[in-house]
């Protein structure tokens, strides 16, 4: 009897994680529609990184990566879920595709640092300092893939790629991290997590 109950509980938890992963993938797609193209820059100012942060913090490395993987697969399949309603494999292998690949890796990294395990813990049990480190590491990961990708695909000199592909966006990215942490501190994300796993 206890074995059956354990299997049921694991199954229920997996269903909850899948549901939240799908929700966050859709949220990431919605954030991508809030994109502001800036003249002379290869990538727009976009809010989809919020979805990456939320996925890693709420779902941990495995399910957070699964969520952003769903988002990427939807875009590759033709759904207009990337910045400026972009879609298709051509978009992913284009000049800004490195940032999309970085999103997937960042969600896994954020989850791994924040939760220190494959399975997510309640967000209330993750110290704020660790959340800060996790989000900063995720941002570095995104740039670490996106900037060299610009050099390789767009043919930009490394210094220019670093400037237009990272440094210009740093102030805005700092604000996005602060906003994410404010949602965590305010309990908004924790409530979302507990609702999904209830």
pLDDT per residue over 127-137, tens digit each?
Answer: 999 999 999 99
Instruction: Enter the tokens of residue 141.
Output: 């990961």
106 in Cβ contact with 136 (< 8 Å): no
pLDDT reported for residue 124: 85
pLDDT at 7 over 50: no
Q: What are the domain boundaries of the chain?
A: 2-197
Residues with Cβ within 8 Å of residue 165, at least 6 apart in sequence: 42, 43, 143, 146, 147, 150, 156
55 in Cβ contact with 28 (< 8 Å): yes
pLDDT reported for residue 2: 47
Mean pLDDT of 175-193: 78
pLDDT reported for residue 85: 87
pLDDT at 194 over 70: no
* Helical (H) or strand (E) element with 36: strand 35-36
Task: Determine the number of helices (DSSP H) and then strands (DSSP E) in the chain.
Answer: 8, 2
Tell which wins on pLDDT, 121 or 130: 130
142 in Cβ contact with 106 (< 8 Å): yes
pLDDT at 87 over 70: yes
pTM for the complete prediction?
Answer: 0.86
pLDDT reported for residue 38: 75
As a whole-number percent, the residues of the chain with pLDDT over 70 amount to: 88
Q: In this predicted model, what pLDDT tens digit does every residue of 20-67 receive, in sequence order?
A: 999 999 999 999 988 887 777 777 788 999 999 999 999 999 999 999
pLDDT at 79 over 90: yes
pLDDT reported for residue 15: 86
pLDDT at 164 over 70: yes
Structure-derived torsion over alpha carbons of residues 25, 31, 32, 37, reported in degrees to the nearest 10: -160
pLDDT reported for residue 172: 92
Per-residue confidence at 69, pLDDT binned at 50, 70, 90?
very high
2-197 CATH: 1.10.1760.20
Sign of CA dihedral 52, 54, 60, 64: negative
């Amino acid at each position: 009897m206890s074995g059956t109950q354990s299997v049921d509980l694991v199954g229920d938890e997996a269903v909850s994680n899948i549901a939240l992963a799908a929700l966050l993938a859709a949220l990431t797609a919605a954030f991508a529609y809030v994109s502001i193209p800036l003249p002379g820059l290869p990538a727009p100012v976009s809010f989809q990184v919020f979805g990456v942060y939320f996925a890693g913090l709420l779902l941990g490395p495995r399910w957070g990566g699964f969520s952003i993987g769903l988002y990427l697969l939807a875009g590759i399949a033709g759904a207009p879920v990337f910045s400026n309603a972009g879609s298709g494999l051509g978009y992913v292998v284009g000049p800004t595709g490195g940032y999309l690949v970085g999103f997937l890796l960042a969600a896994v990294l954020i989850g791994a640092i924040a939760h220190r395990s494959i399975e997510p813990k309640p967000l209330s049990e993750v110290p704020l300092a660790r959340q800060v480190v996790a989000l900063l590491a995720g941002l570095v990961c995104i740039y670490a893939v996106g900037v060299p990708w610009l050099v390789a695909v767009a043919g930009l000199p490394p210094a220019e790629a670093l400037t237009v592909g990272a440094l210009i966006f740093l102030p805005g990215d700092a604000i996005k991290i602060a906003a994410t942490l404010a949602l965590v501190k305010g309990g908004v994300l924790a409530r979302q997590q507990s609702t999904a796993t209830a």
